[in-house]
Amino acid sequence: MNTEFCQGCGVSGSPLMKFSLGKDFFGRPYDRLSPSADQNPKWYCPTCSMYKNLQRDFRDIHAEYDKLISGQRSELAKCDGFLRASVRLREIFTILSTSSQQSPLLAKQEVLLLMERLNTVTMPA
Ligand SMILES: [Zn+2]
């Protein structure tokens, strides 16, 4: 079902895009979200849709970081995953820094904090 309002910023009268959760940043299907959540996509305006992607990647990376530091299996324990995550975080931060309006979905400071934390982790060999 479509709604008339963007579920990020609440704007109306703008073409809305369906945002459905499919694969996460590391290419895995979402497991912590039930498939029924995926069948209930949300609708976002173009700007929020872009932010939503950033937010999703940020969350994925954050979750893997939490696993890594608590000694669980983590995508960040792989060299490839670690590098991709670092690059992506920098991208996200740059996009947030250059955008004129503050995203309602993701704060620049949160991204910066995670970047700093990731820097303190030894890169996997
Ligand atoms: Zn919006």
> Tens of pLDDT along 16-61?
887 766 677 888 765 444 455 455 567 888 888 888 889 989 999 9
Which pLDDT belongs to residue 76?
95
Which tokens sit at 54?
A: 């950033």
8 CB burial (10 A radius; 0-12, 13-18, 19+): buried
Ligand 1 center from residue 2 Cα (angstroms)? 14
Domain count, the chain: 1
Assigned domain for 51 exists: yes
Distance 12 CA to ligand 1 centre (A): 8
* Cβ atoms within 10 Å, residue 19: 17
Q: How far is the CA of 52 from the centre of ligand 1 (A)?
A: 9
Report the percent of the chain where pLDDT is more than 90: 42
Q: How far is the CA of 9 from the centre of ligand 1 (A)?
A: 4
User: At which residue do the structure tokens 């992607």 appear?
Assistant: 53
Contact criterion met (CB below 8 Å) for 34 and 40 = no
**79 located within any domain:** yes
- Structural domain contains residue 94: yes
What are the φ/ψ torsions at residue 44 (nearest 5 degrees)? -135, 150
| Structure tokens given for 26 | 């590391």
* 104: containing domain: 17-120
Nearest 5°: the CA angle 72, 78, 82 is 100
Give, as one character, the DSSP assignment of residue 96: H
Q: Is residue 8 part of a domain?
A: no
Q: Which two tokens stand for residue 121?
A: 């982790």
In a domain, 65, yes or no: yes
Q: How many Å lie between the centroid of ligand 1 and the Cα of residue 27?
A: 26
> Is 125 a domain residue?
no
Residue 114 lies in a domain: yes
Residues with beta carbon < 5 A to ion ligand 1? 6, 8-9, 11, 45, 48
Query: What is the overall mean pLDDT for the chain?
Result: 83
